[in-house]
Amino acid sequence: MTEEPGGPGSTPGSTPPVSASSGSRVIPPVRGMNDVLPKEIGAWQHLEQTARALLAAYGYEEMRVPLVEHTQLFRRSIGEHTDIVEKEMYTFEDVGGDSLSLRPEATAGIARALISNGLLRGARHKLWCTGPMFRHERPQQGRYRQFHQIDVEAVGFEGPDVDAELIALGARLWRALGVTRVRLVINSLGTAQARARYREVLVAYLRAHESALDEDSRRRLSGNPLRILDSKEPRMRPLIEAAPLLTDYLDEASRGHFQALCDTLEALGIPFTVNPRLVRGLDYYSRTVFEWVSDALGAQDAVCSGGRYDGLIAQLGGEPTPAIGFALGIERCVALMKVAGAAPEPAAAELYIVASGERAEREAARLAEQLRDALPGRVIQVNLGGGNFKTQFRRADRSGARLALVLGEDELARGVAAVKPLRREAGQTDCALVDLPARIGALLAQERVAAADAACDAQEVAGAGSRAEQAGRD
């Protein structure tokens, strides 16, 4: 496994900068593996919490599988002739001589876990997991070498009803996140036998036009010819558009399954487009495949992809078990939330405690713990590291807190704390220390209402301005 130095914007092989303070070389991040900083984590947490609640409401249970698996698991499941296995996996030999790989996707690991833990035997499972995946791709917008996914699997379900449920779950997730610029594309790959018949026809067609194939397509022709249909090379488009259609070679059972899915999606009011050229990059897919795509993120338009893998579990040594699942890219979904203006701001403090003097600092620590007991879920920060009142109020303002609680020798002598709003013009008031928990809870509730009213007023002013501007143009 070879790592390139530098971050996403650095030049491979460039010399890391020297720290001005220590004189030591700065160790950069591995290229394509990014830090998620505190100012960004709020959107990630909102997505994860929304998905967790929604999956629970649909009866899906969380499980966790290792980041490292035997390389052979991915070779047997994903396919020897896929780009992932041929070029993108992080593979190494451990001290015991075993070939191991960082997981490039989660489905194979979940299937392996079900087999190795004896959880099949005719049982049905609705499962999900989340975490990092690893592929040595060229880093670009929305695509990283360490990336994160929410992976959802329904195992032991054969009919098209579960296909529709998973798609409906995805549609509901987009609504819950406020993401609108997505559309659903679906297709059927049929059974393995139907694909084998189609493969012969497709290969014959492509060999007749081999001189028009690009280098990648020539390489795929003998190993994974269906992937040629997914080529993004512009000069390949006319050739692909004229290729035979897989849907013309589907078996009757697959046709019926796909038609039932389409009928259910229409009944649910979920718009979709049938794309007979849609294939998936992993060999284990069969029958239903689907993608949620967006025009908001440039060339990397798929933000959630999935399909059936009815033969995978038997292929890995388990009993024949139908299954379907999807993987949602967290980085791409967060980017869509930002485009839609639906990414929440980082959580700010609600109360900041300012204290002057040793006795006041000790009392501030005690009061903070008392308030955290009485007001669980409220974000309460205590000034740390001393400083005069001016410095502490500057820190309070930077924290985003709506209220400051002020303790000094005078306040302690009177058994009170001063409470001062920080986001609106208002004087400070005294509150008895014994009444603080109830009083602070009520004041924070009032501040939230005032903030919401101010936001509504700002929206009305902005809307009126837009209407006036439009009227002026008309």
Does residue 374 carry a pLDDT above 70?
yes
b/e code 60-88 from CB counts within 10 Å (16+ = b)? beebebeeebebebbbbbbbeebbbbeeb
Q: Are residues 179 and 296 in the same domain?
A: yes
Q: Are residues 96 and 187 in the same domain?
A: yes
* The pLDDT value given to residue 14: 47
* The pLDDT value given to residue 9: 40
Higher pLDDT, 13 or 371: 371
| 473 occurs within a structural domain | no
Measured distance between the N- and C-terminal CA atoms of the chain, rounded to whole angstroms: 62
* The pLDDT value given to residue 7: 38
* The pLDDT value given to residue 291: 95
Q: Are residues 45 and 94 in the same domain?
A: yes
State the Cα–Cα distance between residues 62 and 400, nearest whole angstrom: 35
Residue 252, classified by CB atoms within 10 Å of its CB into exposed (0-12), middle (13-18) or buried (19+), is exposed
| 209 occurs within a structural domain | no
Q: Are residues 55 and 142 in the same domain?
A: yes
State the Cα–Cα distance between residues 90 and 36, nearest whole angstrom: 21
**What's the number of domains the chain is made of?**
3
| Residues, the chain | 474
| 128 occurs within a structural domain | yes
- Cα–Cα–Cα angle for 113, 309, 137, nearest 5°? 80
* Cβ atoms of residues 120 and 316 within 8 Å: no
Flag the least confident range among 228-237, 336-345, 402-411.
228-237
Q: Are residues 296 and 370 in the same domain?
A: no
As given in the structure block, the two tokens for residue 407 are 């303790």
State the Cα–Cα distance between residues 232 and 143, nearest whole angstrom: 16
| 94 occurs within a structural domain | yes
- Residue 21's pLDDT band, with cuts at 50, 70 and 90, is low
| 156 occurs within a structural domain | yes
Identify which of 34, 77, 33, 40 has the alpha carbon closest to the alpha carbon of residue 317.
77
Q: Are residues 363 and 332 in the same domain?
A: no
Higher pLDDT, 74 or 299: 74
For residues 225-252, average pLDDT: 86
* Rg, C-alpha atoms of the chain: 28
Higher pLDDT, 234 or 42: 42
* The pLDDT value given to residue 452: 56
As given in the structure block, the two tokens for residue 7 are 């971050």
CATH assignment of the domain containing 406? 3.40.50.800
For residues 146-160, average pLDDT: 96
Mean pLDDT (the chain, rounded): 87
Q: Are residues 369 and 332 in the same domain?
A: no
The rounded Cα 278 to chain-centroid distance in angstroms is: 22
* Cβ atoms of residues 174 and 182 within 8 Å: yes
Does residue 6 carry a pLDDT above 50?
no
Q: Are residues 413 and 438 in the same domain?
A: yes
Flag the least confident range among 17-21, 112-116, 252-256, 347-351.
17-21
* The pLDDT value given to residue 8: 38
Does residue 383 carry a pLDDT above 60?
yes
**Share of residues in the chain with pLDDT > 70 (%):** 87
Identify which of 138, 2, 17 has the alpha carbon closest to the alpha carbon of residue 83.
138
- Cα–Cα–Cα angle for 66, 67, 72, nearest 5°? 90
Does residue 3 carry a pLDDT above 70?
no
* The pLDDT value given to residue 378: 92
| 346 occurs within a structural domain | no
Q: Are residues 55 and 151 in the same domain?
A: yes
As given in the structure block, the two tokens for residue 458 are 């700002």
As given in the structure block, the two tokens for residue 436 are 């603080």
Q: Which domain holds residue 21?
A: 1-31
State the Cα–Cα distance between residues 376 and 243, nearest whole angstrom: 62
Q: Are residues 46 and 104 in the same domain?
A: yes
CATH assignment of the domain containing 105? 3.30.930.10
* The pLDDT value given to residue 231: 77
* Cβ atoms of residues 258 and 188 within 8 Å: yes
Q: How many CB atoms lie within 10 A of CB 454?
A: 12
Identify which of 179, 134, 142 has the alpha carbon closest to the alpha carbon of residue 329.
142
Higher pLDDT, 249 or 456: 249
- Residue 20's pLDDT band, with cuts at 50, 70 and 90, is low
43-100 pLDDT per residue, tens? 999 999 999 999 999 999 999 999 999 999 998 887 766 667 777 899 999 999 999 9
Rounded to 5 degrees, what are φ and ψ at 351? -135, 130
- Residue 177's pLDDT band, with cuts at 50, 70 and 90, is very high
* Cβ atoms of residues 417 and 368 within 8 Å: no
328-358 pLDDT per residue, tens? 999 999 999 999 999 888 788 999 999 999 9
State the Cα–Cα distance between residues 165 and 170, nearest whole angstrom: 9
* The pLDDT value given to residue 18: 60
* The pLDDT value given to residue 460: 57
251-296 pLDDT per residue, tens? 999 999 999 999 999 999 999 999 988 887 666 788 999 999 999 8
Identify which of 284, 334, 289, 328 has the alpha carbon closest to the alpha carbon of residue 310.
284
Q: How does DSSP assign 192-234, residue by residue?
A: HHHHHHHHHHHHHHHHHTGGG--HHHHHHHHH-GGGGGG---G
Of these ranges, 4-18, 20-34, 222-236, 349-363, the one predicted with the greatest mean pLDDT is: 349-363
As given in the structure block, the two tokens for residue 437 are 């928990």
For residues 407-434, average pLDDT: 92
| 13 occurs within a structural domain | yes
- Residue 417's pLDDT band, with cuts at 50, 70 and 90, is very high
b/e code 364-396 from CB counts within 10 Å (16+ = b)? beebbeebeeebeeebbbbbeeeeeeeebbebb
* The pLDDT value given to residue 379: 93
| 221 occurs within a structural domain | no
For residues 122-135, average pLDDT: 95
b/e code 102-118 from CB counts within 10 Å (16+ = b)? bbbbbbbbbbbbbbeee
State the Cα–Cα distance between residues 317 and 149, nearest whole angstrom: 26
Q: Are residues 257 and 330 in the same domain?
A: yes
Q: Are residues 261 and 145 in the same domain?
A: yes
* The pLDDT value given to residue 428: 87
